[in-house]
Amino acid sequence: MKRLYKFEPLISALPQIVKWLPISFVIGLFAGTASAILLVTLEWATDWRESHRWIIALLPLGGFLSGWIYHQFGRSVEAGNNLLLQEIHNPKDIIPFRMAPLVLLGTDLTHLFGGSAGREGTALQMGASLADQLTKILRFQGANRRILLTAGIRGGFASVFGTPLAGTVFGLEVLAIGKLHYDALFPSLIAAIVGNQMALLLGLHHTAYRHAPSIPTMTILGLISAILAGAIFGIIAKLFAQATHKISHFFKAKISYPPMRPLIGGALIAIIVGLSGTTKYIGLGIPTIVDSFYTQLPPWDFAAKLSLTALTLGAGFKGGEVTPLFFIGATLGNALSLLLALPAPLLAGMGFVGVFAGAANTPLASTLMGIELFGLESGIFISIACVVSYLFSGHSGIYSAQRIGLSKYSSIHLEEGLTLATYAQTKVEPKIDLPDDIQERKSNSQECRTYATGTFI
């Protein structure tokens, strides 16, 4: 037995690498190709809309068309990213292949007609649904299928943003708040790297953002400014998530026929855009994100983008939340430079990933993304912004199927396995410890029961 113990890494690790390397490579090819198609079609849709702005007046019709297509052919995949999380936690049915073309078409329609949405949700759904088709060939079940799905998610995330390290860790964090599980780490890393390289090989070029020209030395004032910025990023992240969910619940409660929801929401957005006289707050908004690193922008830009994106997604249009969160965070950081003792380019980068960290509850992935996009020299400030934002966003988030693995706060105990949607809807009363309860908490810490039996990855 001792001899076997010495060779345990070789006996255990080598078969796992041999097994998952080719599978992960194929998943990365699928995800990278899908992301490349997505980015090319979105670029075309954006360019066509900006040169034919009259099409924004047809946004209600575009919304109805998108809603009708999903109502007729996509009811089983309409939950989108939340369906992916549900399948990873509790695998049941293979995700239909049609999720990929449907979400691609729906996202393109959103951007062509002038909705405010992102692209990461589309990339995640395409990567995971394509990866899950391998289940039919490999006959995977249980843990193997969960690994397959998470690798597809991470391949999609990495290839659409050009951030393989952040894409790998994103999949570890997004499943359950406060808990990381590493059994899918190697497949996810390979899928993320291959997916990103595949997108680059197909000629895609990710947006290059400005690095702060100079990073200030960390001082007490700088530390306080970074913490204050992170707190504001987290509050805004929570506001965005709650606004999107509440608008969605309102539309579903008041409008029974699903295709009518984006029609009415599209009409409201078209009117708002027409009255504002600008298109900077619709679509991806990348030009404004880039501008936030170079020039002082109107301080209300983040609020305008937050409102239009929450309305777009809440009304039922397809697309992601993350790129709008980048817009909201970068422009908010730009505005905070008027008040805080940090330069605007640095605060824009901190907000870019900080608001995302709070909204998705992924501080580590967001920190890595910030370092990949803005350089290692900004890492200290970026990490502070992401961690503090994560804490200040509370137990809320853009993914309602995300589970609570461990409460964010040591003084508040929440049942493990509770989804964010369940937590919000049932208004669960958390147990808050007072100083006199410390010893009791220690004695009872091993007796906490699990709310759900789903397995985390």
CB 96 within 8 A of CB 132: no
Q: 442: pLDDT confidence band, cut at 50, 70 and 90? A: very low
Q: What is the pTM of this model?
A: 0.89
Is the domain of 250 the same as that of 321?
A: yes
For the segment 267-309, what is each residue's pLDDT rounded down to a tens digit?
999 999 999 999 999 999 999 999 999 999 999 999 999 999 9
Would you tell me how many other CB atoms lie within 10 Å of the CB of residue 9? Answer: 9
Query: One-letter amino acid identity for 252?
Result: K
Q: 446: pLDDT confidence band, cut at 50, 70 and 90? A: very low
Point out the least confidently predicted range of 284-288, 395-399, 412-416. Answer: 412-416
* 352 to 109, 216, 295, 370: CA distances (angstroms): 26, 19, 15, 8
Q: 439: pLDDT confidence band, cut at 50, 70 and 90? A: very low
Percentage of residues of the chain with pLDDT beyond 90: 71
Is the domain of 365 the same as that of 267?
A: yes
CB 362 within 8 A of CB 234: no
Apex 246 CA angle, 59 and 125, nearest 5: 65
70: domain CATH number?
Answer: 1.10.3080.10
Is the domain of 170 the same as that of 35?
A: yes
- Number of structural domains found in the chain: 2
Is the domain of 263 the same as that of 324?
A: yes
pLDDT at residue 431, rounded to an integer: 55
pLDDT above 50: residue 451: no
- The answer to whether residue 239 is domain-embedded is yes
3-state DSSP call for residue 196?
Answer: helix
Q: Which residues contact 217 (CB under 8 A, 6 or more apart)?
A: none
- The answer to whether residue 336 is domain-embedded is yes
- The answer to whether residue 399 is domain-embedded is no
* 274 to 13, 54, 270, 383: CA distances (angstroms): 59, 10, 6, 39
* 191 to 29, 31, 373: CA distances (angstroms): 8, 8, 20
pLDDT above 80: residue 49: yes
Alpha-carbon gap, residue 322 to 360, rounded angstroms: 9
End-to-end alpha carbon distance in the chain: 30
The residue among 291, 278, 322 whose CA lies nearest residue 117 is 322
pLDDT above 90: residue 14: no
Alpha-carbon gap, residue 189 to 370, rounded angstroms: 18
Is the domain of 126 the same as that of 267?
A: no
b/e sequence 426-440, b meaning 16+ C-beta within 10 Å: eeeeeeeeeeeeeee
- The answer to whether residue 333 is domain-embedded is yes
Q: 437: pLDDT confidence band, cut at 50, 70 and 90? A: very low
pLDDT at residue 444, rounded to an integer: 42
Query: One-letter amino acid identity for 183?
Result: D
End-of-domain residue from the set 333, 362, 392: 392
pLDDT at residue 251, rounded to an integer: 97
- The answer to whether residue 129 is domain-embedded is yes
For the segment 215-265, what is each residue's pLDDT rounded down to a tens digit?
888 999 999 999 999 999 999 999 999 999 999 999 999 999 999 999 999
End-of-domain residue from the set 392, 415, 450: 392
pLDDT at residue 203, rounded to an integer: 87
Domain that holds residue 287: 220-392
CB 61 within 8 A of CB 257: no
Two tokens, residue 38: 């997505």
Is the domain of 239 the same as that of 374?
A: yes
For the segment 308-349, what is each residue's pLDDT rounded down to a tens digit?
999 999 999 999 899 999 999 999 999 999 999 999 999 999
End-of-domain residue from the set 392, 420, 440: 392
Dihedral over alpha carbons 80, 82, 87, 93 (to 10 degrees)? -40
For the segment 67-79, what is each residue's pLDDT rounded down to a tens digit?
999 999 999 898 8
- The answer to whether residue 291 is domain-embedded is yes
- The sign of the CA dihedral 206, 156, 247, 349 is negative
Alpha-carbon gap, residue 322 to 328, rounded angstroms: 10
Q: 371: pLDDT confidence band, cut at 50, 70 and 90? A: very high
Is the domain of 126 the same as that of 259?
A: no
For the segment 159-172, what is each residue's pLDDT rounded down to a tens digit?
999 999 999 999 88
pLDDT at residue 1, rounded to an integer: 53
Is the domain of 157 the same as that of 296?
A: no
Q: Which residues contact 232 (CB under 8 A, 6 or more apart)?
A: 332, 336, 392
For the segment 82-91, what is each residue's pLDDT rounded down to a tens digit?
999 988 888 8
Is the domain of 56 the same as that of 178?
A: yes
Length of the chain: 457
Q: What is the mean pLDDT of the chain?
A: 89
Is the domain of 119 the same as that of 250?
A: no
- HEC states along 331-348? HHHHHHCCCCCCCHHHHH
pLDDT at residue 16, rounded to an integer: 86
* 325 to 61, 120, 193: CA distances (angstroms): 26, 11, 24
Is the domain of 285 the same as that of 188?
A: no
- The answer to whether residue 272 is domain-embedded is yes
For the segment 120-156, what is each residue's pLDDT rounded down to a tens digit?
889 999 999 999 999 989 888 888 999 999 999 989 9
Alpha-carbon gap, residue 440 to 411, rounded angstroms: 12
- The answer to whether residue 310 is domain-embedded is yes
pLDDT at residue 7, rounded to an integer: 60
The residue among 343, 309, 342, 347 whose CA lies nearest residue 330 is 347
Is the domain of 304 the same as that of 386?
A: yes
pLDDT above 80: residue 452: no
pLDDT at residue 210, rounded to an integer: 80
